[in-house]
Amino acid sequence: MEPETIKALIRRTHEVILAHAEELTDLDQAIGDGDHGINMKRGFDAIAAAADAIAELPCGKALEKAGMTLVMSVGGASGPLYGSLLMAMGKAMPEAPDSVGDIAKAFQAGVEAVMKRGKSEGGEKTMLEVLLPVATSLKDAGALDIGVLRKTADAGLASTKDMKATKGRASFLGERSIGHLDPGARSSALLIHAVCDVIEGK
C-alpha cells in the first residue's frame, strides 16, 4: 500500500474521531463511564503523531504498529479491543494484499481477536454488532461495494439500541442499558465510514 494511502487513512480516521468525540462521550455517559470519546481521541491522536513512521511500513506492519499504538495509549476496554483488531489484521494481511478476499480475511482475523480478547460474541451490545456483520459482508462480497459496507455498519449500530448489554461496562445496567446506542458500536461505524471515505477518495 502506498504511504500516501496509509497517511490518508490515518488522517481521515483521526478527523472523524475528533469530530465525533463528544458524541461518543455522551453515549458513554448514558450507559458507561463517559470516556469513550476521550479514549478514542487519545488513541487516534497518538496514531496521527506516529503517522510518518507508520506510513513507511508495509501494510501489515503498519496495521500492527497502529494497533500497538492504540494499546499503549488508550487504556480502558476500547484500547485492547481496537488494538487487538488492528494487530491481528496486520498479522493476517499479506505483504501486498491484492483482493477484497485478502482484506476480508485479515478483517475476519481482527474481529476474531476482538472476540477472544473481549470473551464476547455478537448480540452482547458491543462494537461487535458492527464489526461482525461488516466482516461477513466483506467475506461474501465478490467486489468491494462501499454502499453496502456503509449500510451494514449503520444497521449494526442501530441494532444495538434495543439490545441489553451483557459485556462491558453497560452490562452492569442490566435492563437499563436498553434504549441506548452502544458507544463502541458507534465508534466502529465511524471508523468504517472513515475508511470508506478514503476508498472513495473523499
The span from the CA of 182 to the CA of 56, in Å, is: 35
Q: Which residues contact 58 (CB under 8 A, 6 or more apart)?
A: 1, 95, 96
44 touches 195 (CB < 8 A): no
Q: Which stretch binds another protein (CB under 8 A): 50-58, 69-77, 103-111, 132-140?
A: 69-77
Minimum CB separation from another protein for residue 41, in Å? 9
Q: For residues 154 and 117, give the distance between their C-alpha atoms in angstroms, rounded to a whole number.
A: 24
Q: Does 117 bind another protein (CB under 8 A)?
A: yes
Give the Cα separation of 67 and 89 in Å (integer): 9
- Closer to another protein by Cβ: residue 46 or 148: 46
Site for another protein in 39-68 (CB under 8 A): 39, 42
By C-beta, is 69 or 126 nearer to ligand ADP?
126
Cβ neighbours of residue 44 closer than 8 Å, sequence gap 6 or more: 13, 14, 17, 18
Please tell me whether residue 125 adopts helix, strand or coil conformation.
coil
Shortest spacing between CB 25 and Mg ion, in angstroms: 8
Taking CB under 8 A as the rule, does residue 169 contact another protein?
yes
Q: How far is the CB of 139 from another protein (least distance, A)?
A: 26
Contact assessment for residue 182 and residue 129, using Cβ atoms and an 8 Å cutoff: yes
Residues that bind ligand ADP (CB under 6 A): 28, 32-33, 35-36, 39, 76-78, 81, 118, 120, 126-128, 167-169, 182-185
Residues that bind another protein (CB under 8 A): 25, 29, 31-35, 38-39, 42, 71-81, 83, 117-118, 165-169, 171-174, 176
